Amino acid sequence: MDTVFVLVLLLNSRRPGELQRIPLHLYDRTPNNQQNYKEFDDTITPCENILINIFKRIVIRGKSERSVYVLFNNDVQDHIKILLDYRKKCLSKNNNFLFEKSKTIEPISGYKILKKYAILSSAINPQAIMATKLQKHLETIREC
């Protein structure tokens, strides 16, 4: 679960707090994006069509009640599907978060997971991989 969370965090460059509280029902009820855009088939470019087929998009509430888009690529979707298949055996039935802490009704602690993976990465400066600095770094790379 932790690894999938970090993959989603890196893909989306979002605050860990936003992602850790994604409701399970929101992920489950969001249909495949390809079905959502059938009426736009004439206007979507081939490149955009490929992206629609690769990513699942959900909208969550972010800082200051703003809408925040979260993308899940096919690889992450496959991992989440496996986790959801085994969810009933390992986790509390009352936990309503996509990224849940086992045997509780709380979400995982995103910043703690990121810190754990930063230390495990054997990076020279693991503090540079913490949430705020990582988010700024990813945004800088995307601008180039």
Summarize pLDDT for 92-129 with one digit per residue, the tens: 778 889 998 877 888 889 889 988 988 898 888 888 77
pLDDT band at 80 (very low <50, low <70, confident <90, very high): very high
Length of the chain as a residue count = 144
Rounded-to-integer distance, Cα 123 and Cα 128, Å: 9
pLDDT band at 22 (very low <50, low <70, confident <90, very high): very high
Q: Token pair of 105, please?
A: 């009704």
The pTM of this model reads: 0.80
Backbone angles phi, psi at 38, to 5 degrees: -60, -40
Strand 55-61 to 67-73 pairing: antiparallel
Using the predicted structure, report yes or no on whether residue 3 has a pLDDT greater than 90: yes
- Please give the structure tokens belonging to residue 44: 């979507």
> In which region does residue 102 sit, left (phi positive, over 0), alpha (psi from -120 to 50) or beta (all else)?
beta
Q: What is the Cα 70 distance to its own chain's centre?
A: 6
Structure tokens at 38: 């059938």
Task: Tell the residue number behind the tokens 């802490």, with chain if given.
Answer: 101
